[in-house]
Structure 1
Amino acid sequence: MSSERPSPPSEGDERPTGRFGSDQGWPRWTIWVLFAVIAGALFLPGLLSSQSSEQISYRQFLDDLRNDRVAEATFQNTDGGISGELEDGTSFSSNGPLEPTDADQSLMTEKGVEFTTPTASIWASLLPLLIPVGLLIAFFVWMQRRAQGQMGGIMSIGRSKAKTYSTERPGTTFDDVAGYEQVKQDITEVVDFLKHPDRFAEIGARIPKGILLVGPPGTGKTLIARAVAGEAGVPFLSVTGSDFMEMFVGVGASRVRDLFQSARKMGSAIIFVDEIDSIGRKRGAGLGGGHDEREQTLNQMLAEMDGFEVTTGIVMMAATNRPDILDPALLRPGRFDRQVVVPLPELEDRRRILEVHVKHKHIAPDVDLDLVARGTPGMSGADLANLVNESALLAVRRGESEIAKRDFEEARDRILMGPQRDSMVLSDLEKEAIAYHEAGHAVCAAVLPTADPLHKVTIIPSGMALGVTMQLPLEERHIYRQDYIEDSLVVRMGGRIAEELVFGVISTGANNDLVGATELARKMVREWGMSDRVGPMAWGSQGQVFLGEDLMHTRDYSDDTARVIDEEVERILRDQQDRCRQVLSENRYGLDLVARGLLEHETIDGTEVTRLLELASPGATAANPHSVLVNANGSSGSEHADADGHEPHPPA
C-alpha cells in the first residue's frame, strides 16, 4: 500500500556463522594445522638428516680411524647412528653401539679425532607418547563442546523467537503509509495510550488489549504494524505464528510464556503476531482444526492475554486474512477487543499509494495518476507497487529515460491478462472472428445505459486471451443494482451473439463468457434475491472446504427448489441473450465499423468506438448515464479479459 523502507535489525539477531567456523566448537582449519604439526615433528628430523653421505660399516669406520682418515665423528645415543667427516672432506654415516666403547674412545683420542655423543632431548623421547595422548584429549574436548552446544540449543528451544525493535531504530512510520486514515487513527490511539496512559486514565478509559488487523493479502497489514513499531515509544516485539510451532510437544506454549514474560520485564510493550491464523484456528473443528500442540499453544495465548493473572501495559496486535477460521475465544472482548479492517484501497487511496511509489521515479508528463488509479479497481497496495515497478521495467526495455503513459497501460494489461503473445500466428478468418467478437462486447458496453464506460478494445493476444474489451468505472462503487448486473450479462453475451449474427455459427471463443455469466446469474438467484419466482431467500455459495465442520454441511434447500433455481438461472440468461441480440441487430452497421477498425488498427479506444457508432447511426444515443451501482463484495470496475479473450470483469 506504500513504499517500504528496510526494517531495522533486531536486538536479538543471532550472529551468523560461516562454513568453517562456529560459536560452539573449534574452526575446521585447526584440524589441518594439527595434522601438519604432527607430520612435521615425525618426518622433519629425518628429512633434515638425510644429506648425501657415504654409508660404511662399523668395521670400516674403525679401519679408517686407525689409518688417520677420520676428521670428526658424532655418535647418536638414541639409535646408534654414527655420522662424521673424513679428512678428504667426504661425509659418512654408519651404525654402531649406542655409545662408543672405552677402547674406541681411547683410539679416537689417540688419533686426535673429535667426537661427540649428544644427549637425547626429553621431548624427543616423550613425543611418541604425547602425540596419541594429545589427540585423545583434543577429541574429548571437542565432543564435550559439541554436546554443550547441542544441550544449549535444546534447553533454549522453548524461548521466544520474537524480535525486539527499539525507539532508536524506527524504520517505517505512519508517513510511509498512504491512505487508510481511519485505520491509522485506530492504531494511533493505542500508541498514544502507551505513551500517555494518564490522559486516558483521567476519564476511566480502558485501552483495548488486542487489535486484530483483518484484510485481503497485500493491503499492508504488516506495513502498518511496522509503522506502529516506528511510532511507538515503547518496545515492539514482532513474531510470526509459525515461530511457535516445533516438532516437540509443549514448545509452542513455552514460547508464548517466554514472550509475555519478556514483555512484562519491559513494562509497556506491543506484541505483534503476524499470520495468527496459523495457531489461532478454531478448536474442535475436526479436519483443519489443528492438532493438540496447536491447541495447547492457543490455550496458553488465551490465558496470557486475559487469564487469571492480570496483564497490564501490554497490547497485542495481530494480522490475518482469514478471520473466519479464528477461535471465538480469541476474538471476545478482553482479548482482541477491536478488529481493524484493512480493505482494498478505494480510488483516492489508490491515488495516494501511487504517488508514494512514483516519488523517486522519472515520470513522463503524459502520465495521469488519476486515470491510472481509476483503471486499477480491486488492486491492493502490493499490486500497485508491482504495477509501478513493471512500468519502470517496460520503460527501460524500450530504452526510455522516463515512464510514459503507454508503459502504465501495458503493465496493467500485463498484470491482469498476461504478456502480449506477438509470436501467435492467427489466420485471417480467426482475426475476423475475434474482431467481431470483441466488437460485440464493445458495442453493448457503449450502448447500454448503465454499463461501465468503454476504455479500449484490442484483438492483440495477451496471456490466455485472444482479445480484450476493457471498461473503466467513472466512480468507486460498493453495491450493484439489478439493472447494472443485467446490462453486464448483456455485455458478456455480446461476443457470442455478434458471431452468430455475422457468421451464422458460434465458436468456442465465448467459453469464459458463458462461465462468468452463468456464475453471475446463479448468484442473482441464490444469494441476492433477484428472482421473483424464488423470492427473498438466499443460500450461501458452495466454497472450498477450509474447516472440518464444512464437510458435514449439507444443501439447505430441497430438490424442487434446486430445480426452480436452475430454471430461473436459465431464464435470466436467455432473457439477456435476447436483449443482446436486439441491441446488436439495431446497431448492425456500427458493429461492422468497429470490427473493421479493429482489423485495421488492432486496438481502438472507447472514444473511437463511440464515434463509429454515432457515424453509423447519427440519431442513436451512445452516451452512458452512470447511476449508482451496487456490489455486496465492495469491488468495482470492469477490466479483465477471460481465458478465451473476450470478457470484461464481473461485477461480483
Structure 2
Amino acid sequence: MGKEIFYGIIPGILIFLLFLGVNIAPFVVFGAVLAGIYFLMARQGGGNMGGLATRNKSSRHTVPKTNVTFADIGGQERAKKELKESLDFLIHKDKIEQYGIRPIKGVLLAGPPGTGKTLMAKAAANYTNSAFLAASGSQFVEMYVGVGAQRIREMFKEIRTMAEKNGQSSGIIFIDEIDVIGGKREGQQQREYDQTLNQLLTEMDGIATNDKPRILVMAATNRKDMLDSALLRPGRFDRHVTVDLPDKAARQQILTIHTENKPLADNVILEQIAQETFGFSGAQLESVANEAAIYAMRDNASKIERKHFSYAVDKVMMGEKVDREATGEEKRRVAMHELGHAIASELVRPGSVSQVTLSPRGQALGYVRQNPMEDRYLYTRDALEKQIIVCLAGAVSEEIYYGGRSTGSKNDFEQALGMAQEIVQSGMSSLGIVNMKLVDNNRVHEEVNRLLENLLEQTREMLKKYDHVYQTSVSILLEQEVLHGDFFRDLLKQDTANAELAM
C-alpha cells in the first residue's frame, strides 16, 4: 500500500511544480538515475532494497531433504568409504576426542563431470543428522565488491542458526563448482573472487571460528588443479576424495541401479553392456538406460531388448542420427574406410568389433564401435602400436581401393600422432629416455614419422589379404547400413581359413 501512495504522490508533486512554472527536468533526470540505481541494486541483491545485503537467507541456500543414499550410488566404493569416514567424525564425537583427532573441516570431491560428486553430497545430507545447506559457486559472484564475501558469512551464520534451532550439533555446507570462487590468486590485484575466497578461508579456519556447532564444508570441482593452494592445505580441505570414472564392475552396478524399474528382455546382459561402455561416466550410463527405454517405446516393444541398448550406446557416444545424405560413391568410400578399421581391429585384438555402422551420427559419416574387452590403464609399446594400426587402417583402405586418402582420416591421424608421441615421451622409442624440453623438436618429429611410416607399411601388408571380406561386407553395409560383430568375425575367420587352405 505504501508503494502505491508513493507512486501517486510523485507525479502529483511534479504536476504542481509544473503549474507553478518550475523547470522539472532536473528532478525527472535525478529521479530516473535513482530509479536505475535502485533497479540494479535490487537485481544484484536478490530483490532486496539494500542490494548489498542478502536478506532472504532461508530460501537462498536451503535445499529440501532428498531420498538419495550411498546405496543408490553405483560403484565408487573407495570414494564412498572415505566420505563416510569423514562424516562419521560428525557422528562419533566422543570417539575422535578419545584418540585426540582433530575434526575434519573440509572434504573436496574432485573428478570428471558426471561421476556422481553432487549425488554424493545429497547422500551425505541423509547419512548424518546434520543441518544441510547447498550452494553453487556462481551464487557468490557479483559485480559489486564485497557481496560474495557477505554471502559466505551469511551462509555460515545460517547453518549455525539452523543447527541450533533444530537441536543439531553439526552442520554441512556443500558448495558445487567451487573453482568459480576458489581459483588461484595471482599478482597484487584484488578481485571480487579473491575477497570471496578470503572470507571462505577465514570461516573455515579463522581466529573467530566456533566449534559449536561443528561445520563441515563439502565442495565439488572438475578442475582441482585450478584451486588456490591455501584452500587445499590441511586444516581447510583435509580430505581430497577422487570420484573417478567407474571401472567395469562399477559400470555394471550403475546399470543395474538404473534398470531396476525397467522391463528388460532376456537377451539383455548388463555385463556385456558394461564391457562395451569403457570410459562412460555414471551420468552417461544413466542416459544409456534411459535412451534404451525410449527406443523400446518408439518400437512399441513390451520389453527393452539388446538392440535398444546398442542404439542407446551409439547415441550417447556419437550423438543422434543426422539427415545428411551422402552420394552412393561417398557411402561406398566410407564403408571401405570403416571396414579397414574393423578388419585391423579384429586382427590385432580378436573379438573387439561390436558393430560396423554406415549411418551418419554427429560429425561421423560412419563408425566402428569397438568392445574394449577389458579396462586398461597402462599401455606397452606393442599395445599402442596395435591401436595406431587400427587408426591408420581406414586411410590405408582408401589408398588400396581408391588410390588416395580423404579428409575423413583427419581425426584418425590426430589419434595416431598422439599415440606415437606418447611412445617417444614414455621412453619406448629408439631415442630412449628423453627430456622433451631439451631434445630437439626435429628429432622427435623424425622419430614419430619413422614410427608411423613403419606402421603404415605393416597395415598395408595386413589389409591387402582380405579383399573378399571387403567386397562381401561392403555389399551388406550399403544395403543394411549395419554389420554386426559376430557375423563380421565369422566372415573374417572363413576368409582366413580359405586362404590357409589355398596355401
**Shared fold per TM-score greater than 0.5:** yes
* Equivalence for 1:463: 362
Distance 1:311 1:335, change over 3 A: farther
* Equivalence for 2:138: 242
Residues in 1 aligned to 2:221 and 2:489: alpha-carbon distance in whole angstroms: 45
* Equivalence for 1:136: none
Structure 2 matches for 1:469-548, cutoff 5 A? 469-525=368-424, 527-533=425-431, 535-537=432-434, 539=436
* Equivalence for 2:327: 426
Residues in 1 aligned to 2:497 and 2:350: alpha-carbon distance in whole angstroms: 21
* Contact 1:452–1:473 (Cα < 8 Å) also in 2: no
* Equivalence for 2:489: 610
* Equivalence for 2:53: 156
1:503 deviation in Å?
Answer: 3.4
Residues in 1 aligned to 2:396 and 2:143: alpha-carbon distance in whole angstroms: 60
Bigger CA radius of gyration? 1
* Equivalence for 1:303: 202
* Equivalence for 1:357: 258
Structure 2 matches for 1:14-413, cutoff 5 A? 152-154=49-51, 156-157=53-54, 163-164=61-62, 169-265=65-161, 266=163, 267-284=169-186, 292-312=191-211, 313-413=214-314
* Contact 2:398–2:404 (Cα < 8 Å) also in 1: yes
Query: Which of 334, 341, 350 is equivalent to 1:441?
Result: 341
Q: Secondary structure at the match of 1:164?
A: coil
Cα RMSD between the aligned structures? 2.9
* Equivalence for 1:642: none
Residues in 2 aligned to 1:155 and 1:469: alpha-carbon distance in whole angstroms: 56
1:255 deviation in Å?
Answer: 1.9
Deviations 1:107-161 (A, max 9, x none): xxxxxxxxxxxxxxxxxxxxxxxxxxxxxxxxxxxx9xx99x9875436337867
* Equivalence for 1:7: none
Distance 1:419 1:163, change over 3 A: closer
Distance 1:620 1:326, change over 3 A: farther
Deviations 1:38-79 (A, max 9, x none): xxxxxxxxxxxxxxxxxxxxxxxxxxxxxxxxxxxxxxxxxx
Which 10-residue stretch deviates more, 504-513 or 273-282? 504-513
Deviations 1:202-250 (A, max 9, x none): 1222332110000111111111101111122010121221222222221
Distance 1:24 1:443, change over 3 A: farther
Residues in 1 aligned to 2:152 and 2:492: alpha-carbon distance in whole angstroms: 67
Residues in 2 aligned to 1:24 and 1:567: alpha-carbon distance in whole angstroms: 81
Q: Secondary structure at the match of 1:236?
A: strand
Q: Secondary structure at the match of 1:444?
A: helix
Same amino acid, percent of matched pairs: 39
Distance 1:155 1:618, change over 3 A: closer
Which 10-residue stretch deviates more, 589-598 or 342-351? 589-598
* Contact 2:89–2:104 (Cα < 8 Å) also in 1: no
* Contact 1:222–1:319 (Cα < 8 Å) also in 2: yes
Residues in 1 aligned to 2:138 and 2:238: alpha-carbon distance in whole angstroms: 23
- Unaligned stretches of 5+ in structure 2? 9-34, 164-168
Larger relative helix fraction:
2
Residues in 1 aligned to 2:98 and 2:69: alpha-carbon distance in whole angstroms: 28
* Contact 2:53–2:150 (Cα < 8 Å) also in 1: no
1:328 deviation in Å?
Answer: 0.4
Q: Secondary structure at the match of 2:497?
A: coil
* Contact 2:258–2:289 (Cα < 8 Å) also in 1: yes
Distance 1:503 1:154, change over 3 A: closer
Residues in 2 aligned to 1:497 and 1:454: alpha-carbon distance in whole angstroms: 18
- Unaligned stretches of 5+ in structure 1? 1-22, 32-142, 540-555, 622-652
1:299 deviation in Å?
Answer: 1.1
Deviations 1:464-487 (A, max 9, x none): 222212211222211222111101
Q: Secondary structure at the match of 1:363?
A: coil
Give me the TM-score of the superposition, normalised by structure 2.
0.83
